[in-house]
């Protein structure tokens, strides 16, 4: 009986740690400085449409920023599918700098396109 419990306990512990890992990687709003909103205008360098959040790398004012967007389902339901948030596109992002990760910004909204085709997408 003791051998069965030991055999079961090891894999169970590994499974629990792996299941909890995504929650540790997820950022809450408290990790960002919401007292000082930033407006970044620049060109998208990379995109990633994967859960838990879509992200882009943005070149703005001579710096590179990793911008955390909304979950993929929210991006799509609010009119910002993968095709509209594309590499090379100029965008404006309003968001908050991370308190713990230099160069990371959590987006409140993203403005896609320009002129008559401009579209503001609220992400929160």
* pLDDT value at 19 more than 60: no
Residue 100 CA from chain centroid, whole number: 15
Helix (H, G, I), strand (E, B) or coil at 106: strand
Give Cα separations from 110 to 29, 55, 72, 87, 116 (angstroms): 17, 12, 14, 14, 16
Averaged pLDDT of the chain: 84
pTM value is 0.76
Our CA angle for 97, 124, 110, nearest 5°, is: 65
* pLDDT value at 49 more than 80: yes
Q: Which domains does the chain have, with CATH numbers?
A: 28-122 (2.40.50.140)
* pLDDT value at 26 more than 70: no
């Amino acid at each position: 009986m003791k051998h069965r419990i030991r055999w079961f306990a090891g894999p169970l512990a590994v499974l629990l740690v792996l299941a909890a890992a995504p929650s540790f990687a997820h950022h809450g709003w408290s990790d960002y400085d919401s007292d000082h909103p930033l407006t970044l205008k620049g060109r998208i360098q990379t995109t990633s449409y994967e859960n838990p959040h879509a992200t882009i790398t943005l070149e703005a004012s001579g710096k590179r920023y990793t911008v955390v967007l909304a979950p993929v389902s929210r991006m799509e339901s609010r009119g910002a599918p993968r095709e509209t948030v594309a590499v090379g596109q100029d965008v404006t992002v309003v968001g908050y700098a991370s308190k713990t990760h230099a160069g990371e910004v959590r987006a409140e909204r993203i403005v896609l396109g320009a002129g008559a085709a401009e579209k503001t997408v609220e992400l929160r």
